[in-house]
Chains A and B, each alone.
Chain A
């Protein structure tokens, strides 16, 4: 186990010794308008950004050419070459891979008439353009190339669910107003009106004069009493009792009621038949 590990470390050390810096040769940027007129063409310096910053109009084209060389001046094709567009203010960024030939030559074209999808949304602030080089054999390199002004992009389309990621307006519930009892006078009038049927009933009964001669006889009265007790129990239920209690008491009360009812109604039936049979 020690053997392969030490060999790996040794080879890494060799690589570290071999690693060297990649640099750009004759980097150049060109800005041309849509009718192919050159608006600007100048070499880039890796030490400091070009001034004034590069500005592109809606139809201009930016062309960036360079050759990647090692310190011997030989063209190198790094394994990874990226241009990064970064808006420092909004934090938006985009990465554009760059094709590099075997001889290290590279060309990046940015046509604003058809901007690549890697170009981030732009605002008033400049987009910083930088170059990233990655290679197995060389040190990684990063070069700040220039600041770029492009026409501001359209505001991004709002996502359909965007509204759910912000506080919603507060919900105010509206309730139906509390119902009120009518005025005392109206209630009193209708209470009196409800007494009217009782007057009618009592008047009619007095007129008809039904006879209940056996109501208090020993056979009938227990039935009447238990029925009255049932009504009393229900009133008590309304006033005070719980459902379980009233069911229990009702079940108990139902037994004497049934017995008394059977006796009373049997007596009534006998009397009726006895009365009618001689007929």
Chain B
């Protein structure tokens, strides 16, 4: 999500800590759509971390289930991150040929294929 924290639009006051000013800039300058995707990304990251912790700390017993769950988190994160990169107006110049609608269609198709494989693994 590095793109989420693009340069703040205005200079923060010197009394604020840099992290706080960074958060404030993100909060104020990011559109609602991107924030929605960011929320989804955070959700995927947390899910993946918890599943990974479970595998490391407790057991990997139904290993195929772990693979399916973890891979779905990672794969969906990648797909959502690329969607976010392509629909971000700030990256307009980089994706001239890719309209946001086209990016969403790619996202939907990639997600369906990913979910097909995930369910295949789930056992």
Contact = CB atoms under 8 A, between A and B. Distances in A.
A244 interface: no
A266 B101 contact: yes
A208 B61 contact: no
A71 interface: no
Interface stretch (A38-46, A122-130, A138-146, A180-188): A180-188
A227 B108 contact: yes
Contacts, number: 83
B58 A200 contact: no
Interface size class of B (residues with CB under 8 A): 20 to 34
A209 B104 CA distance: 20
Interface stretch (B5-13, B15-23, B32-40): B32-40
Contact of B119 (A180, A198, A238, A268): A238
Contacts of B39: 200-201, 204-205, 208
B42 A201 contact: yes
B50 A179 contact: no
Interface in A159-184: 179-182
A200 B108 contact: no
Interface string B22-64: 0000000000110110011011101100110010001101100
**Binding site of A, secondary structure by majority: helix, strand, loop or mixed?**
helix
B3 to A, nearest CB: 17
B115 A200 contact: no
A8 interface: no
A205 B42 CA distance: 11
Which 9 pairs between the two chains have the least Cβ-Cβ distance?
A: A204-B39, A201-B43, A265-B101, A197-B46, A210-B36, A238-B119, A179-B61, A208-B35, A197-B47
